[in-house]
Amino acid sequence: MSESNWRDQELSYEQVLDKHNGDISKFTVLKIDVTRRGYVYSEEAAKVIDPNKHHVEPNDFLGSTKTTNSSPFPIGLVMRDGTTICSEPGLSTIVRQRDPYVIELIDNKLYITDQGRVYEEVEIWERPDFYDKVTSNGTPMWQIASARPQRITIAPGTKCHFWDKPGNGCKFCALFSGHRCDEGEFRDEKYFQDVTETVAEALKQKGRYASFHMTSGSTLSGREIFDDEVELYIKTLKAAGKAIHSDKFPTKLVASAFSKRQLERMRDETGMTGYVTDLEVLNKDLFGWICPGKTEFIGYDEWKKRLYDAVDVFGRGQVNCGIVAGVETAQPYGFADEDKALEIVLKEANEIAKHGVTFSECVWTTLPKSYFSKQKTPSLDYYVRLALGLAEARRRNGIQENIDDYRRCGNHPNTDLARIEKW
Ligand code: SF4
């Protein structure tokens, strides 16, 4: 349940726009707030949802949270300027501390509304054409890949082995939560053939996909830690590459912090061009508390060093550090003061950006099944100042955003801001 007086305690969407007075797109601010607060469909708007036309995922593609909501919930929205909003189905009434926005049907169009105020028209992401198809092995292609309006996603490994030790996963995380403690997973040649055929089928939808995205939970096994994870990605990238017919293709791999040897192998053996590995929170002490598994096996300083090594391998603008924006305010050990949090986090961001790394900022939401499900996320104004600060850190250090902008990913407020930059 939301706190009844939360609106009195923080600036509203309109007040935040006024405060920043043209420094940030109103679409980006609305995207942040809708993500932060969540949204629901009104009864009339829900009648518009059509799983044959809209992108409703039949399964937990990333092993994420499935709610008890029995009605289909599309996985994303797009606003009229192309800004996308990624959805977590039905979360708003369960864990958020603020009232969700409401999608209303007005004159046969969908709009984001709040307390009767109408903000922006939205459309629901379209169902990918390949979703209805089946591979020659008889596998439904929706089991092999998912998609956003601008990219294909494949998740070859659906477990994160930091969870093998209870409590060792990241405290904000609900990804792969349905699979946290499963036994090992087997990907055979049939799977890689399915990947090739699914990517080939997806690419028949002309003009839709600008990038290929791949991610999984962390796999710790191998001669060197993460060797088995690297091997799985190489096989999957090679399988996708067979359908793409190019030595290199726009890729974003979100993965563990690989050693330089592992990164060079990936560069040399696959078509991969972009790499993201997530420090999650830009503070060493909080990293130790929030990401105990990453701390135990790699550590904050080494994770950072591996990001810098990745710039040597893939180049400036091709390496991003994922962060869960706002999680630095989690209690009891996070910053209680938003100004202090911003000062510390942006100082560290600037230091990291000096090395050619930029940021993939996700808005922290308190997902069910995560350890932080009962936490309170920061104010809208905090998220806006953080997005502006991260974008400025990138600009100040002369880094272009090549792998995670609105056209190739669409999830991150700070990289959405890169769309109007001149170089
Ligand atoms: S590394 Fe952390 S954030 Fe990533 S899947 Fe594992 S627990 Fe979740």
How far, in Å, from the CA of 173 to the mean position of ligand 1? 6
pLDDT on residue 96? 66
Count the helix, strand and coil residues of the chain and give each as a percent rounded to the nearest 5. 40, 15, 45
Cα 88–Cα 91–Cα 96 angle in degrees, nearest 5:
120
pLDDT score for 62: 57
DSSP conformational letter for 219: -
Cβ of residue 162 lying under 6 Å from some atom of ligand 1: yes
Pocket test of ligand 1: the residue of 65, 158, 160 to mutate, having most ligand atoms within 8 Å of its CB, is 160
Closest by CA to 62, choosing from 422, 332, 311, 362, is 362
pLDDT tens-digit series, residues 314-360: 999 999 999 999 999 999 999 999 999 999 999 999 999 999 999 99
Domain ranges of the chain: 6-124
Q: Indicate which atom in ligand 1 lies nearest the CA of residue 173.
A: 8
| Residue 405: pLDDT band with limits 50, 70, 90 | confident
Q: 160 in ligand 1 pocket by Cβ < 6 Å? A: yes
Ligand 1 atom 5: the closest Cα is on which residue?
Answer: 217
Annotate 341-369 with DSSP letters as a single string.
Answer: HHHHHHHHHHHHHTTT-EEEEEEP---TT
When pLDDT is averaged across residues 207-232 and rounded to a whole number, the result is: 94
Residues 138-158 pLDDT 10s? 999 999 999 999 999 999 987
- 60 class by beta-carbon count within 10 Å (0-12 exposed, 13-18 middle, 19+ buried): middle
Write out pLDDT tens, residues 320-332.
999 999 999 999 9
Banded model confidence at residue 93, pLDDT cuts 50, 70, 90: very low
Q: Tell whether ligand 1 has an atom less than 6 A from the beta carbon of residue 195.
A: no
Q: Which atom of ligand 1 is nearest to the CA of 294?
A: 1
Residue 68 banded pLDDT, cuts 50, 70, 90: very low
